[in-house]
């Protein structure tokens, strides 16, 4: 199977799958089971990124990774905003297992200031946004440098979202039934 499970031990990351909680923009859990999967190609890049992050004295907190097509449809139905939510008819890099949403933690496990929260649908979430504190801008640039160095590309509207290049043309979409233990229920 092209999707592999990401575990804290193997990848040296913290995992907090926000869409399995009510702490997401819908206010309700989307996934019934919090799980973190990536395509094997993206998993290899994440492992490299985690090593680079550790050299910089930081660690990742993963907020979302593979997102079943059923979940993408639920998010789109709630908020059909193409700047922040991919239309499920086109498909998301998350639905291909090659996108990851993440933030940085300091050596004490505290999230670094990124200027906005995860999934904050605002122009201040854009890469290069004006009006951020010096610390927030520096933290975003650190995350950007780590992820790009490891083989990911960024999405200009979301400081937290990284994906493999040519995601929509090189990788197929997966549904919840692709998993041996479904996330959706």
Catalogue the active-site residues: 158
DSSP state of 171: S
Helix (H) or strand (E) holding 153: strand 153-155
Cα–Cα distance between 92 and 164 in angstroms, integer? 12
Phi, psi (degrees; rounded to nearest 5) at 124: -70, -15
- Strands 59-64 and 14-15 come out as parallel
Cα–Cα distance between 125 and 99 in angstroms, integer? 17
Residue 164 CB neighbours (<10 A) = 22
**Residue 35 contacts by C-beta under 8 Å, 6 or more apart in sequence?**
5, 17, 20, 179, 181, 183
């Amino acid at each position: 199977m092209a999707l592999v499970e990401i575990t804290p031990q193997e990848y040296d990351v913290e995992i907090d799958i926000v869409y399995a909680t009510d702490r997401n923009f819908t206010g309700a859990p989307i996934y019934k089971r919090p799980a973190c999967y990536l395509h094997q190609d993206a998993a290899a890049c994440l492992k490299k990124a985690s090593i680079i992050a550790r050299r910089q004295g930081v660690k990742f907190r993963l907020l979302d990774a593979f997102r079943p097509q059923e979940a993408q449809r639920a998010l789109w139905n709630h908020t059909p905003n193409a700047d922040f939510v991919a239309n499920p008819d086109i498909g998301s890099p998350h639905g291909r297992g090659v996108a990851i949403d993440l933030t940085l933690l300091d050596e004490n496990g505290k999230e670094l200031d990124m200027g906005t929260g995860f999934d904050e649908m605002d122009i201040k979430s854009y890469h290069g946004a004006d009006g951020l504190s010096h610390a927030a801008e520096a933290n975003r640039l650190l995350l950007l440098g780590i992820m790009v160095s490891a083989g990911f590309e960024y999405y200009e509207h979301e400081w937290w979202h990284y994906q493999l290049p040519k995601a929509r043309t090189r990788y197929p979409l997966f549904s919840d039934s692709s998993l041996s233990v479904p996330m959706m229920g």
